[in-house]
A = this chain, B = another copy of it.
Amino acid sequence: MPMHGAMPNSFDPTRVDALEPRARELVTRRRRLLGPGYKLFYEQPIEVVRGEGVHLFDADGNAYLDAYNNVPCVGHCHPHVVEAITRQAGTLNSNTRYLAEPLLDYAERLLATHHDGLGSIMLACSGSEATDLALRIARHASGAKGVVVTANAYHGVTAAAAEVSPSLGANEPLGVHVRTVLPPGPGETDPVAAGDAFALRVEEAIADLHRHGTATAAVLMDTLLSSDGLVPDPPGFLRPVVDAAHAAGALFIADEVQAGFGRTGAAMWGYQRHGIEPDLVTMGKPMGNGVPISGVAARPELLERFGNEVRYFNTFGANSIAVAAATAVLDVIERDDLVAQVGDVGEHLRSGLAGLAREHPALRNVRGAGLYVAADLVDPATGAPDAQATSRVVNGLRERRVLISAAGAAASALKVRPPLPFGHDHADQLLAALADVLADAC
């Protein structure tokens, strides 16, 4: 089992000599120029040179079915997004110190997809910046420092985001004002019981912060609990957690970097699937189909106070090209009715995976919402997480030109999270390849 905090599905750099000459040369140059922090996927890293829809192409022209990348949410190089980027890049790329109607149109349209209490938004470049900004807003509003997150949470890589991201491992210690709570376990079916038990753990964490002299500014959670191994069910379990946060005078921040923009197939936002109304919502990855843009939607009174009292200017945040790309993403999600399609294809995919799990006792606990799907690989005899089998499956799929990855604290979960236009036929291709790999690998 990999060290807690190690990256699942990463290329092992000590095996560089086993690569083909071209890959070996690129890996070696990369190591020298970018240092060891730049981890690659797969035992045989892929040199990607082109993308189109749900496919990536390598330097030899081979097509890979992309069942992993959520950033190109409407598909790689979607023509409507490419056209928007191209038109805007040739017209103007400026910042928010000047008036620009497209930014206001976008802000209005994006906020209309949120619950009515979220009336204002600030824009930034990355999900990390969104987390960092949301924490600044919450701490400024409350005067408190404490933050409660889940046990294997990931919220970003700025210093402030990293210290609320236990999944980064022991070398990035949690902040002294941070407490973690275990998420609901698998197999929970009653949202009230699961939620109440979860909320109780949150209350205990808040009480522990209080005992250490720290009031709690925010409870911060990914509404799919992605890095905790994906815990989507039962929908509604976050409701008592929000109540617990509010009862303690803390804000609830929904991290929608993973669950947002229709990913769950149930709604535009993961929190809507839980029937909750967060005070702050962070958005990132899929927002601009790969052009860096992120945001924090907020109750207006929070931005009122922060904006009046704190100077915050994000030079690239909401630049003209990013706004054009993000607007085009909303166009495609709406015109192609992607949320409904994602729900439909996701169900088909999970049903196929459940069928495979019935045949393969090593494959268990198929779960997900829409097109974020996970399943665990275990030792069938003991039920223990099996990171090695997971690695064999992920790399076996890669050899069959289907791209997924691994996840979870034990690196034993298959992680399937394709671009949203992934269709039934793509799901069937993935399932067939997986059946083939499982027959070999487990």
The complex places the Cα of A319 from the Cα of B23 at a distance, in Å, of 19
Interface size in chain A (residues, C-beta < 8 A): 102
Complex: A289 Cα to B90 Cα, angstroms: 12
Quick check: is A76 within 8 A (CB to CB) of the other chain?
yes
> Please, which residues of chain B bring their CB within 8 A of the CB of A40?
97-99
Instruction: List CB contacts (< 8 Å) of A316-373 with chain B.
Output: 316-317, 319-322
By the criterion CB–CB under 8 Å, are B85 and A126 in contact? no
Known: A89-B77, A107-B34, A306-B35. A312 touches B157 (CB 8 A): yes
A92 to B93, CA, bound (A): 21
* B56, B86, B104, B129: the one within 8 Å of A26 (CB): B104
Q: Among B47, B56, B311, point to the contact of A7 (Cβ < 8 A).
A: B311
B97 pairs with A172, CB closer than 8 A? no
Say yes or no: A309-B157 contact (C-beta < 8 A), given A33-B108, A34-B120, A48-B94.
Answer: no
Complex contact A91–B171 (CB within 8 A): no
Chain B CB within 8 A of A43 CB: no
| One of A158-166, A188-196, A198-206, A263-271 contacting the partner | A158-166
14 other contacts beyond A30-B99, A38-B122, with CB at 8 A cut-off?
A29-B104, A33-B108, A33-B120, A36-B308, A38-B96, A69-B94, A71-B95, A72-B94, A77-B90, A85-B321, A125-B126, A126-B316, A136-B159, A159-B160
Q: Which residues of A contact B (CB under 8 A)?
A: 5-7, 23, 26-27, 29-30, 32-41, 45-51, 56, 69, 71-72, 76-77, 81-82, 85-86, 89-101, 103-104, 107-108, 111, 119-122, 124-129, 132-133, 135-136, 157-160, 162, 168-169, 171-172, 284-285, 289-292, 298, 300, 303-304, 306-317, 319-322
